[in-house]
Amino acid sequence: MSFFHPKHTIMPTTSSLKESLTEAYVTRVIDGLDLDDCLAILHDYMTKSYEEYTLEEIKEEVEEYYPDLLE
């Protein structure tokens, strides 16, 4: 026995509408970017994320991946 009535539709919540619209918009923007644009955005994103690191945390990460930068 089903408790779902076929004429009853579930209204999407504001947050799910926002999430769907955001996802569609981001996908469309990314589809329109060339490689240089993508690299510029990635550079900005990474630079911003490392602002939260201490000098010691950055040194640890650099040491793990690119130790020559510390020479």
CA distance 29 to 71: 40
Residue 9 lies in a domain: no
Residue 4 lies in a domain: no
Q: What is the mean pLDDT of residues 9-20?
A: 82
3-state secondary structure the chain: CCCCCCCCCCCCCHHHHHHHHHHHHHHHHHHCCCHHHHHHHHHHHHHHHHCCCCHHHHHHHHHHHCHHHHC
- The confidence band for 13, taking pLDDT boundaries of 50, 70 and 90, is confident
Instruction: List the domain range (segments joined by +) for residue 39.
Output: 35-71
The confidence score (pLDDT) of residue 11 equals: 65
What is the tally of structural domains in the chain?
1
Is the pLDDT reported for residue 54 higher than 80?
A: yes
Rounded to the nearest integer, the mean pLDDT of the chain is 89
If phi > 0 it is left, if psi is from -120 to 50 it is alpha, else beta; for residue 36 that is alpha
Residue 27 lies in a domain: no
pTM of the model: 0.61
